[in-house]
Amino acid sequence: MKGLVLLLFPLLACMRFCASHSSLTACIDCLFCCTPQVGWKHQEAVKDLEEVRKVRSHDYYIAKRKLKALKTKAEATVSEQA
């Protein structure tokens, strides 16, 4: 529960700070620019984690694409043999 509160606090504070946001999506888009103004100091950690996530996501996508190509090739081979 404490971790959830720590994750939601910057978002809620940002929504209070920026009254111009009409939706949660718009607030999430500017979260990094608003949160330092309300005292949240973990932008660098989040940026580092986001870079790692993007690398892992790209690696997963490449592996998934290769697996799909192998599966399609195997299905084609099996259908030709039948």
Q: What is the pLDDT along the chain (82 residues), one digit of tens a residue?
A: 455 555 566 666 666 656 555 555 555 556 666 667 666 677 888 888 889 999 999 999 999 999 999 999 999 999 988 7
At 50, the amino acid letter reads E
Q: pTM of the predicted model, to two decimals? A: 0.54
Q: Please give the Cα distance from 35 to 37 (Å, whole number).
A: 5
Q: Please give the Cα distance from 5 to 59 (Å, whole number).
A: 31
Q: Please give the Cα distance from 78 to 3 (Å, whole number).
A: 50
70, 75, 76, 77, 79 from 82: Cα distances, Å: 18, 11, 10, 9, 5
